Amino acid sequence: MKTICRNVFTSLVIGVAALMPMKAFAQSPPEPAVVVSVANITEQLADAKYLVDAAGFGQMAFLINVQADQFLKGVHSEKAAGVLLYFDEETPQPNWLGFIPVKNMPDVLNTISNNLGQVEEGDDFATIITDNDQEILVKEADGYAFLSDKAEMFENLPEDPQSLLGDLPSTYNMSAKVFGQRIPESLREQAIDMIKEGYEAQLAQMENSGEDFAGGLQQGNLDIQMKQLESMIQETDSLVLGFAADKESKSMYFDIEMTGLDGSTFAKRCEATANGKPTRFSGFVNEDSAFNMNSCFTILPEDAENYKKMISQLREQGIEELEVDGDISDEDLEKVKQAADELIEVIEQTLDEGVLDSGIIAKVKRGDVNLAMGSQVVNPGKIEKLVKDNISIVKDELGDDLQIKFNSGSHQGVTLHTLVFTVPEDEEELIANLGEEVTVILGIGEKSLYLAAGNDPLATLKEAMDSSAAGSSKSPVAMQWNIYLAPIMKFAAGIENNEMVEMMAEKLEEAGNDRLGVTSSMTKNGMKMRFDAQDGVLRLIQAATQAMGQGFAPDESDF
């Protein structure tokens, strides 16, 4: 706990020092290209106490405040700290200026000397000499301790550093805002070149290791992906990265928020989805599941063309692999080519319509596993015909272990086809989790395609379809993924007969709030993506500690 409190203070200084360039540079421009924000100490300590309590160690929370005073003497606890970074054309390494709000500068310097290194007083500055012999200059002005490695950075100190942070301190514990157009274009181009070189090196390694298909596919897509990346880097107006612990929502989250220049391709992509059609698959998002997903994006015509090129390359390379392997007859190869062409035609027609809309849900219990998915598709009847024309190949292979029933029913105007596979008797583990039969359902709507699989997938599919039909007309987000750890861990514990994992699953069930999620929303000229974890997930720490204390020693298979 002493270490926690020490880090609350020392991170204000060491975090700044870590951003130090290693040599001197020219005078910085007046506006920072990057603003780093650290919320005030009062908020940080309150959130640290909340996280410790959520993890099940509330009895230790009082130690945070007991130790805090020792390491935060002299720091103003109600104001945020920050770092300002400036770039010029000459070097990718930034000039920097940090600031910490203070009430008593001598107390701050004394704390630094006791924890970070030697402090030498001077007429204009105090100099911190760290254990690795780096020198940081410190100057007090207007209630702040300003820090940098160069004296010239103190010539034009900001009158109100808090105003430069905007709403970052009130929104996040730790955050940074990048102003893309304040970074010189030459440096942005260098960043693009570095990313491209790294990607090409990875592709070369894949090809050298024999992954010809995957490497060839990615090489064919490299130009498309790099154009999109270059567009994003060059057209970014601002980028915000932020972490917060939120007691109100009982979660921790990390945000990525990006805005593009007005009229840019990136802004047009975001605006198209923000003003696009509502999802038809919102009902696939259901808390009574182990996993669910829903996404609905509008595709610009130029992006649709790029996706078509990628799909065409995938088709060509896949066929080439089959021809090289020689494991398929000429007759069957022609069937594969025809099926691939017809499937690609459906995908291209769907891309031309300009909407990618889909949903997935998975429910898992011991002996009860079901998955269902739905997607908007143009001309799904062609896929239906593909299945009917080629299912005989699978039937010839499986014989009586496959039962086929076309037109087995309908739901909400969607025609259902059912395939029932008998699980081989020697697959004991599969039988224990799925039963002796696995059912696959294909649903064909006017402009929708459904697929479900499991021991009773029809109920899961119908529930998702009914919920979608009754759902709101507009989803609040463009994309969301949700993973619920309790049912997944409970299922895994049953498979492995693992008492430690079982205990951890029970702790999650008791705490609730076991979701891990990703959401993405669009605005007129930007997007916001959030990665969040509900605080019940923290109970895994307590459960693991208790399990090990009771002698459940984990091995690699537990995780």
261-275, 375-389, 402-416, 505-519: range with lowest mean pLDDT: 505-519
Two structure tokens written together for 266:
């990136």
Runs of H (alpha helix) within 209-300: 212-235, 265-274
Tokens encoding 152: 């010239």
pLDDT for 123-147, tens place per residue? 888 888 888 888 899 999 999 999 9
- Which are the contacts of 318, defined by CB distance < 8 A and separation ≥ 6? 213, 340
Q: CB neighbours (10 Å) of residue 20?
A: 19
Per-residue confidence (pLDDT) for residue 518, from 0 to 100: 97
Among 440, 456, 473, the domain-final residue is: 473
Check residue 429 and give its pLDDT: 77
How far is 469 from 479, CA to CA, in rounded Å? 18
CA distance 506 to 453: 28
Q: What are the counts of helices (DSSP H) followed by strands (DSSP E) for the chain? A: 17, 20
Q: Please report whether residue 494 resides in a domain.
A: no
* d(C-alpha 282, C-alpha 471), whole Å: 6
Burial class from Cβ neighbours inside 10 Å (0-12, 13-18, 19+) for residue 210 reads exposed
Would you say residue 101 lies in a domain? yes
pLDDT in tens, 355-372: 999 999 999 987 789 999
451 vs 443: CA distance, rounded Å = 6
524-537: pLDDT as tens digits: 889 999 999 998 88
Does 538 fall in a domain?
A: no
Cα–Cα distances in angstroms (integers) from residue 147 to residues 200, 295, 344, 390, in the given order: 40, 45, 59, 71
Domain total for the chain?
A: 2
Q: Is the pLDDT of residue 217 over 80?
A: no
- Cα-Cα end-to-end distance for the chain: 27
Largest CA distance in the chain: 92
Neighbours of 385 (CB within 10 A): 13
Q: In terms of Cα–Cα distance, which of 242, 277, 268, 290 is closest to 460?
A: 290
Phi, psi of 313 (to 5 degrees): -65, -40
Q: DSSP per residue over 107-143, as a string?
A: HHHHHHHHHTEEEEE-SS-EEEEETTS-EEEEEEETT
List Cα–Cα distances, 256 to 172, 295, 450, 526, in angstroms. 12, 18, 32, 11
Is position 346 within any domain? Answer: no
Residue 57's pLDDT band (cuts 50, 70, 90): confident
- Give mean pLDDT, residues 86-101: 88
Q: Which domain holds residue 72?
A: 2-182
The two three-digit tokens of residue 151, written as one number: 């004296």
pLDDT at res. 92: 75
Look at 21-30, 215-224, 275-284, 517-526 and tell me which has the smallest mean pLDDT. Answer: 21-30
The token pair at 168 is: 């970052």
Tell whether the model's pLDDT for residue 550 goes beyond 90. no
If you ran DSSP here, which 8-state letter would residue 75 be given? B
Per DSSP, the three-state class of 414 is strand
| The model's pTM | 0.84
In a domain, 540, yes or no: no
Residue 387 is part of a domain; what is its CATH number? 3.30.160
Q: Is residue 70 part of a domain?
A: yes
278's tokens:
């509502």
Phi–psi pair at 283, nearest 5 degrees: -70, -10
DSSP labels, 308-375: HHHHHHHHHHHHHHHHHH--S-HHHHHHHHHHHHHHHHHHHHHHHHTEEEEEEEEEEETTEEEEEEEE
CA pair distance 83, 481, nearest whole angstrom: 34
Question: Is the dihedral angle over the CA atoms 117, 118, 119, 122 positive or is it negative?
Answer: negative
Sign of CA dihedral 180, 225, 345, 460: negative
User: Please, are residues 528 and 255 in contact by the beta-carbon 8 Å criterion?
Assistant: yes
Residues 202-211: tens digit of each pLDDT? 777 766 665 5
Q: Has residue 393 got a pLDDT over 60?
A: yes
- The whole-number pLDDT of residue 541 equals 79
- Mean pLDDT within 518-522: 95
pLDDT above 70 as % of the chain: 88
**Among positive and negative, which fits the CA dihedral 163, 167, 169, 170?**
positive
**pLDDT at residue 150 greater than cutoff 80:** yes
Average pLDDT, the chain: 84
Q: pLDDT tens digits for 12-31?
A: 443 444 444 433 334 434 68
| Identity of the residue numbered 24 | A
Domain boundary among 150, 182, 214: 182
| Listed residues 152, 182, 212: the one ending a domain | 182
The label of the residue with tokens 């081989």 reads 424
Cα–Cα distance for residue pair 39/171, rounded to 1 Å: 9
Work out the pLDDT band at 513, boundaries 50, 70, 90.
confident
Asked whether the beta carbons of 127 and 136 are under 8 A apart, the reply is yes
Query: pLDDT tens, 310-358?
Result: 888 888 888 888 888 777 788 888 888 898 999 999 999 999 999 999 9
Task: To the nearest 10°, report the CA torsion of 394, 400, 406, 408.
Answer: -140
Q: Report yes or no on 294 lying in a domain.
A: no
Residue 102 has pLDDT above 80, yes or no: yes
Instruction: Please report whether residue 129 resides in a domain.
Output: yes
Q: Which amino acid is at 199?
A: Y
Any idea which residue has 């490695």 for tokens? 149
Looking at residue 336, its pLDDT comes to 84
